[in-house]
Amino acid sequence: MADTVDLQDPVVGAGLLLAVGVVVYGAVVSDTIAGIEATVAATWVFAVTFAVLAGIHANVGQYDLALGHGGAAVGWLFVLLGTSGLQVILGVVLLVLSGSYIAIRTVRRRSDSSEDRPEAE
């Protein structure tokens, strides 16, 4: 397998730092950023982060993780844009299912890759 650069950690880290920065800005400076509440803007950052991760995973052929992250991005969209309680609940359920799927696939990938490595003597 060709060497690849693992971009998941930096993308998640950047998204998390940006979201925290937006919330801190909202708490310290102003409740809104360009007319949008800071907490809503931070949630949009999370939605975009998951969409970017889905694109990265799809680009390198990891379609299982692309599906999981894409599902989480769609879940955030349902939560953010939902006009009824049912749509928001559907978004939360999609977030839980996608997050569980991502966690299971990530643990399995790590255990598979650790079994492939020869042990040091």
pLDDT surpasses 60 at 4? no
pLDDT at 119: 58
Rounded to 10 deg, the angle between the 38-59 and 63-81 helix axes is 160
User: Who wins on pLDDT, 65 or 112?
Assistant: 65
Per the CB < 8 A criterion, the answer to whether 74 and 94 are in contact is yes
> Could you report the per-residue pLDDT of 6-43, keeping only the tens digit for each?
888 899 999 999 999 999 999 999 999 889 999 999 99
Cβ-based neighbours of 28, under 8 Å, separated by 6 or more = none
pLDDT at 2: 42
Q: Can you point out the beta strands (E) in the chain?
A: 32-33, 36-37
Q: How far is CA 105 from CA 4, 56, 100, in A?
A: 18, 16, 9
